[in-house]
Amino acid sequence: MADSICRTLRDGALEGELAPTLTIKDSLASPFAFHVFSHILLQLSSHVMAQKSQSQGIVIVALSQSPSSYTALLKRNGVDVTSSSKWIHVLDCYTDPLGWKDKTRKPVNVVTNVTDPSHQISLATSSYKTVKDVDKLFSVITELGRGLVGENKSRICVAIDSLSELLRHASLQSVAGLLSNLRSHDQISSIFGLLHSDLHEERAVAVLEYMSSMVASVDPYHPSADVQKGCLENSLYEQNFTKGKFNVRSKRRNGRVRVTCEEFKVGPGGIIFTSGSSVDGTAIAAGLLPKVQFNLQLSEKERIDRSNVVLPFEHQGNGEPIQIYDGRRSLEENSSEANPTSSGKKEDSGMGEIIYFRDSDDEMPDSDEDPDDDLDI
Amino acid sequence: MMMMEQKNWNLLDEALGFHSNNANPWPLCGRFLLVEDCVDTSAAFVLHHILKRAFSSHPSSAVLFLAFSHPFSHYDRVLRKLGCNLAAQRDNGRFFFLDMLMLQCPDEGKSNHDGLASVFEQIERVITVLHQDKRPISIMVDDISFLEVAANGSSNDVLNLLHYCHTLTSDYGCAFIALDHKDIYLNGDRDAIILEMEYLADILVKAEPLATGLAKDVHGQLKVLDKETQHQYGISAIKTHNFHFKIKENGIECFYPGTKI
């Protein structure tokens, strides 16, 4: 499913349609939306570099991660960062979202940052210091996009690494307006953003989900496991930090909604999606079988033999009249059914009556006495 | 000396990675550690413990302490019991104590942001000076809830300050350690701040009373969740630790549930 999301984002927008938008949402019980976000970002980067995608550049709006962490992420996954400035640009809303550092920032700091060996080659970055001004953010994003791909018809992809952070700084209306403007901009091919759903009111989440053509929800593997409930649930709680469920709801243009579910595992290397809970399901079922001395499963030969056995009702029908015993009449009677006299008798006896003779007068009706108490054992 | 120290590692040290003897002298570098406690079980001892370890981790390591709940003399007394002289460290230029007990941001008529922005300015001024010597730096906040009081209850302003402190972890590789109380946010709609901090945290330490009730020999349990994060020194995998503790006069004793005789 993660692949199909990436394909949709890669294929981008049709002429005269809104750009496909993905919201990745998670909760504290399974806080892996950023893993999904980086996975999609890496997939898209490889598509953009291979020029297989509609978008020719990516603008990352970094609100919750530092630009250097994106450099590290790309480097770690073997993306060539030296030539990255042609197709990727980080809009740094993380380092100084409110302009507090402007007052104290001396030029010395900038120099130390540049000479720091670990950040020798980093992604092209521009900083943005008024996150509360969402309208300006929109124009900055589109400007950066034009800077990457030029004025022509080519498009860019926008990645917003925390819609939650944006919602904290600005009102829901303005964030929704930003998304809507981005979606309808003709130089934007796709948008994806990250949302921590439990930080916001339900209506905020719903608004953003309405504006997304795809919603990927990262859910805990064991939804009921909560560390508050004590030690018994602890192992389940720990499992929630290695794997989870990935539910995708995608809306087609005609309004059809498709919901798919898969599982993922999180390891030091990143996130790995495993499609099909069914595979896991049989494995679990096999594991649940008790270990017994005798064989509960059939071998292949036994299975074939079993399928060759002709069951009793299957004899019937090869040339002979079908006779199925219905449990009331004997087969002989059945065969002579045409005999009118016998059927007449049956009707007579069909009236039905119960004839009961009391054994003796001294027996009380429905007496409790033991009928066998005169037995001498 | 090394052997002696190794004997003293307890489960909390192991959970926070202090025991590993690798190239990184201060494993909290570039990470945000959030300590959560509740009324029944105070986790101030975790801060004391980390403070002590911070000084012993590296000969030039420095700590910037933002005190909202207790004055310097309190911490000086507590740490002295643990075998660490804060006054001496302060005089050596390794301990920077910012007394925020009387901090009160301007009222809502004016802008709240200026108040906390100036706090951050103070922090950053210290950090930039320390960073020039490439010293491992830890920033500690001893009570987020009092910070919220100082900010006139505006959780958004508090989160802004926390975000800025968080940027210091990536810009300068500082460790950021903060304590907050979980149970003051149980009231439904006001829980966004603690959730947001939990998202932000790289390491979460929760102190809780024993689930089974009070005990003489066990003062509570600690749950440490070390989230997988990418930092300067590579990626660390998600680890969870769960153990009981007993606070003694001159230190803490940590042990796995059921192993205390």
Distance CA B233, CA A35 (A): 19
Range among A3-7, A76-80, B8-12, B75-79 with highest mean pLDDT value:
B75-79
Q: Is A234 at the interface with chain B, CB within 8 A? A: yes
Among chain B residues, the shortest Cα distance to A131 is held by: B160
**pLDDT tens profile A257-310:** 888 888 888 877 778 888 754 444 444 444 555 566 677 777 888 888 888 887
B242 touches chain A (CB under 8 A): yes
Asked if residue B181 lies in contact with residue B38, where contact means CB atoms within 8 angstroms, the answer is yes
B92 and chain A in contact, CB less than 8 A: no
- What average pLDDT does the structure give for chain B? 84
In chain A, where the domains are located: 2-278
* Tens digit of each residue's pLDDT (9 = 90 or more) over B102-135: 887 776 555 545 688 888 988 999 998 888 888 8
Phi, psi of B23 (to 5 degrees): -65, -25
Q: What order do you get walking across the sheet with A270-275 strand by strand?
A: A125-127, A88-92, A55-62, A155-160, A188-196, A21-26, A214-220, A243-251, A257-267, A270-275
d(CA A132, CA A166): 8
For A2-278, give the CATH class.
Answer: alpha beta
Question: B2: distance to nearest CA of chain A, Å?
Answer: 31
What gap in Å lies between CA A369 and CA A375, rounded to an integer?
A: 13
B220 belongs to a structural domain: no
Contact partners, residue A113, CB within 8 Å, separation at least 6: A119, B171
Q: Give the bridge partners for A250, in sequence order.
A: A214, A258
Is residue B240 one of the residues assigned to a domain? Answer: no
Q: Which of A86, A55, A87, A46 is nearest to A188 (CA)?
A: A55
Closest Cα partner for A28 from B144, B166, B195, B183? B195
Is position B230 within any domain?
no
pLDDT band at A342 (very low <50, low <70, confident <90, very high): very low
The interface pTM score, or ipTM, of the predicted complex is: 0.85
In this model, does residue A239 exceed pLDDT 70?
yes
Cα–Cα–Cα angle for B221, B227, B231, rounded to 5 degrees: 135
What are residue B115's phi and psi, to 5 degrees?
A: -60, -55
Q: What's the gap between Cα B137 and its chain centre? A: 12
* CB within 8 Å of chain B, chain A residues 254-283: 266-268
Q: What angle do CA A215, B228, A90 make, to 5 degrees?
A: 60
Q: Which residue has the tokens 């922005």?
A: B117
Q: Is the pLDDT of residue B221 over 50?
A: yes
How high does pLDDT run on average in chain A? Answer: 78
Q: Which of A28, A69, A266 sits opposite B199 (nearest CB)?
A: A28
Residue A108 has pLDDT above 70, yes or no: no
Q: How far apart are the two ends of chain B, measured CA to CA in Å?
A: 29
B189 has pLDDT over 70: no
For A174, phi then psi, to 5°, come to -70, -35
Count other Cβ atoms within 10 Å, centred on residue A249: 17
CB proximity A177 to B under 8 Å: no
Average pLDDT over residues A164-175: 92
Of B168, B204, B152, B159, which Cα lies nearest the Cα of B64?
B168
Contacts of A74 in chain B (CB under 8 A): none
H or E stretch at B252: strand B251-255
- For residue A176, the model assigns a pLDDT of 94
Q: Closest Cα partner for A183 from A353, A12, A37, A321?
A: A12
- State the Cα–Cα distance between residues A132 and A128, nearest whole angstrom: 10
Domain of residue B184, CATH code: 3.40.50.300
φ/ψ of B255, rounded to 5, equals -155, 155
- For residue B36, tell me if it sits in a domain: yes
Whether B179 is covered by a domain: the verdict is yes
DSSP A270-323: EEEEEE-HHHHHHHHHHHHS---SS--S--HHHHHHHHHPPPGGGSTTSSSPP-
* Domain-located, residue B245: no
How many domains would you assign to chain B? 1
pLDDT at site A280: 43
Nearest to A88 by CA among A67, A65, A58, A63: A58
Strand segments, DSSP code E, in chain A are: 21-26, 55-62, 88-92, 125-127, 155-160, 188-196, 214-220, 243-251, 257-267, 270-275
CA distance B73 to chain A (A): 31
User: Do B128 and A106 lie within an 8 Å CB cutoff?
Assistant: yes
In a domain, B216, yes or no: no
Partner A contacted by B20 (CB < 8 A): no
Structural domain boundaries enclosing B48: 27-211
Is B10 within a domain? Answer: no
pLDDT the model gives residue A112 = 35
Q: Give bridge partners of residue A193 from the DSSP assignment.
A: A23, A160
Contact B171 A196 (CB under 8 A): no
